[in-house]
Structure 1
Amino acid sequence: MASSTHTTARSTASDTARGLDAGRRRHQRGKARGGRSGLASTVLLLGAVYCIIPVVWVVVAASKSPGELFTTFSFAPGASLLENIATLSSYDGGRFWQWGLNSLFYAGLGALLSTLVSAMAGYGLAKFTFRGREVLFSIVLAGVLVPGIVVAVPQYLLLARAGLAGSYWSVLLPVIINPFGIFLARVFAAAAVPDDTLEAARLDGAGEARTFVAIALPMMTQGLVTVFLLQFVGIWNNFLLPFIMLSDQDKYPMTLGLYSFLAKGAGDSDLYPLILTGSALSVIPLIALILFLQRYWRTDLLAGGLKG
């Protein structure tokens, strides 16, 4: 009886020791994960500060008068923001807002057409089997690696031969084909559009165009929002292509218009606050677009979490 009691006590002590060891190991793993998480959060925070500081400086500098811009502390706000906006709006007959409308036209229509073309091309590469498909996709991937500056001059020569250089089409046509957008659309189509759904639609008598528009495109919408946003931002910030293609200031986008302001400002320091004010205003549409479209990403993430 005593031996059985001792055995039970030793077993209980052993189980207790193993439980303590397991608890210590879990605690150590938790501390290690917490340390890695803290390091990652610190790195992300530093990256966010690094990206935000220039934007904050531009906004603060846009609130200063020409005298304050060069004599006060860089991050000390001024009181001339509204005055600078009014001066910018009236300068040269309000041409700044014309440039803003041109940028909205180029970026909005260009991103919309590019997203549609990317969706069709990506869907075709993902859901159709044909000879040379992989070769074609490899060419698309190679196009992702080609810098825009390499093809800008050939594009100008081609459009000049077609009589389109200097027109709105000279800025729109080159941005419609986006290799990176096609690559993303192919990934989205392969992941979001089930083959069984497409086969069921075909058995019901739906043609390929109707299947794409009515079934595939709605399933790809959340992913195509990313393609649209990336292309919109890329076109909005594009400088090289309009610089090569356009000579009429009435057709300038905002980037090229601000550059022309900067060239004039080299001999007139009073234009510097206007340039900074225009730069600050040019960021607002991008921020508004991101805030408006983020709900699609949130929905996509929640859908992915529910599926998991």
Structure 2
Amino acid sequence: MTRTSPGATGTRGGAGLTSRAGVNAVLLLFALYTLIPPWWLLVTATKNKGHLFTTNGLWFSHFDLWTNVKDVFHQDDGIFLRWMGNSFLYAATGAAVSTAISAMAGHALAKFAFRGRDLVFNVILGAVLVPASMFALPLYLMFSATGLVNSYWAVLLPSVVSPFGVYLSRVYAAAAVPDELLEAGRVDGATEARIFWRLAAPAMSPALVTVFLFQFVGSWNNYLLPVLMLSDDRLQPVTVGLANWRAEFNNGVPYNVTITGAALSLIPLLIAFLSLQRFWRSGLTAGSVK
């Protein structure tokens, strides 16, 4: 029997502690990198314009949040509220339609055998690898030819297509929707549409929530497409509107108004994540007992 000397054991133990400390240090740096910008935004949104640059940027001083919020909603005749409504329209409608299309396409690719299925899936997989910004100019030329530029449709229509959503739905449907469940529905005389909506879609809910949130966040934060497609200020989402306010700093738009508006624009994203995370938990629990 081979014996291990106490010194060797101590060396391995020390190396393990050093490795663990290094991993924890890297994780701490990533956590700080992630948390410092929203913390700075929150702190800065509570200060008036007289104390933005004269106080500690990472700590509260001269709390004036409610005045800043009131100024945001009064700036330019209250257009911020319209920008928020436009962003919610683009993000929520686009994400909902995109999720439904992705779910149906992914289910069809996973559960139906037809000629060219692998080719279709490979094309979709290739589209996932193409940056969204590469589609901006072709979309502008196409919408310009059809008269959709400077309208809600110019931003809304591109947001309903999600190659990543189709890919994720296809992978999840293949793993989470048993063929026996679908066959049982057909034996009972249910139509394919009813089988999908009543049996397959609930089983795919964790993936569909992921697709919805990805699309919602992507549409909410979208800047390039709206600024390219829309010239009417009243059609702009909040991302473009805040950027315009920042550019007009020297023309009368206070910096604290722009910062507070940016902080307020994060609230719908937080609500979406907090309200939908239970579907992720239920999906993880379901997968652990299968």
Superposition TM-score, scaled by structure 1 size:
0.86
Q: Distance in 2 between matches of 1:25 and 1:117?
A: 59
> CA 1:109 to 1:132, structure 2 compared with 1: closer, same or farther past 3 Å?
same
Pick from 64, 81, 96 the counterpart of residue 112 of structure 1: 96
**Displacement after TM superposition at 1:45 (Å):** 2.7
Please list, as runs of the form range in 1=range in 2, the aligned pairs for 1:90-129 lying within 5 A after superposition.
90-129=74-113
Please list, as runs of the form range in 1=range in 2, the aligned pairs for 1:257-268 lying within 5 A after superposition.
257-268=241-252
1:216-237 CA-to-partner distances (Å, cap 9, x unmatched) read 1111112210110111000000
Please list, as runs of the form range in 1=range in 2, the aligned pairs for 1:218-297 lying within 5 A after superposition.
218-268=202-252, 271-297=254-280
Residue aligning to 1:82: 66
**Displacement after TM superposition at 1:73 (Å):** 2.1
Contact 2:106 2:166 in 1 (8 A): yes
Q: Give 3-state SS (helix, strand or coil) of 1:117's partner.
A: helix
Equivalent AA in structure 2 for residue 88 of structure 1: V
- Identify which range, 159-168 or 27-36, moves more after superposition: 27-36
Q: Distance in 2 between matches of 1:235 and 1:67?
A: 34
Q: Of the two, which has the highest radius of gyration?
A: 1
Pick from 160, 164, 168 the counterpart of residue 180 of structure 1: 164
Q: Give 3-state SS (helix, strand or coil) of 2:204's partner.
A: helix
Q: Give 3-state SS (helix, strand or coil) of 2:266's partner.
A: helix
Residue 66 in structure 1 maps to residue 64 in structure 2: no
> CA 1:30 to 1:298, structure 2 compared with 1: closer, same or farther past 3 Å?
farther
Residue 52 in structure 1 maps to residue 35 in structure 2: yes
**Displacement after TM superposition at 1:100 (Å):** 0.6
**Displacement after TM superposition at 1:33 (Å):** 6.5
1:27-83 CA-to-partner distances (Å, cap 9, x unmatched) read 998887766555444332321211110111111111122221122221232322111
> CA 1:32 to 1:221, structure 2 compared with 1: closer, same or farther past 3 Å?
farther
Q: Distance in 1 between matches of 2:98 and 2:7?
A: 56
Q: Distance in 1 between matches of 2:8 and 2:180?
A: 47
Q: Distance in 1 between matches of 2:196 and 2:240?
A: 38
Contact 2:102 2:162 in 1 (8 A): yes
- Identify which range, 217-226 or 26-35, moves more after superposition: 26-35
Q: Distance in 2 between matches of 1:301 and 1:218?
A: 14
Residue aligning to 1:301: 284
- Identify which range, 35-44 or 244-253, moves more after superposition: 35-44
Contact 2:90 2:159 in 1 (8 A): no
1:190-242 CA-to-partner distances (Å, cap 9, x unmatched) read 11101111122222222211111111111111221011011100000000111
Superposition TM-score, scaled by structure 2 size:
0.91
Q: Give 3-state SS (helix, strand or coil) of 2:67's partner.
A: helix
Q: Give 3-state SS (helix, strand or coil) of 1:69's partner.
A: coil
1:250-303 CA-to-partner distances (Å, cap 9, x unmatched) read 1111101101101111444x5110010011111111112111111111122222
Identity of aligned residues (%): 48
Q: Distance in 1 between matches of 2:11 and 2:175?
A: 38
Q: Distance in 2 between matches of 1:33 and 1:199?
A: 52
Q: Distance in 2 between matches of 1:141 and 1:288?
A: 31
1:140-194 CA-to-partner distances (Å, cap 9, x unmatched) read 1111111122111111221222222111111110111111111111111111101
More helix by share: 1
Equivalent AA in structure 2 for residue 288 of structure 1: I
| Poorly superposed stretches of 4+, deviation over 3 Å | 23-42
Aligned length: 289
Q: Distance in 1 between matches of 2:145 and 2:55?
A: 52
Contact 2:205 2:283 in 1 (8 A): no
Return 5+ residue gaps in structure 1 as ranges: 1-13
Q: Give 3-state SS (helix, strand or coil) of 2:52's partner.
A: helix
Return 5+ residue gaps in structure 2 as ranges: none
Pick from 194, 212, 231 the counterpart of residue 178 of structure 2: 194
Q: Distance in 1 between matches of 2:127 and 2:30?
A: 29
CA RMSD between the two structures: 2.4
Equivalent AA in structure 1 for residue 256 of structure 2: P
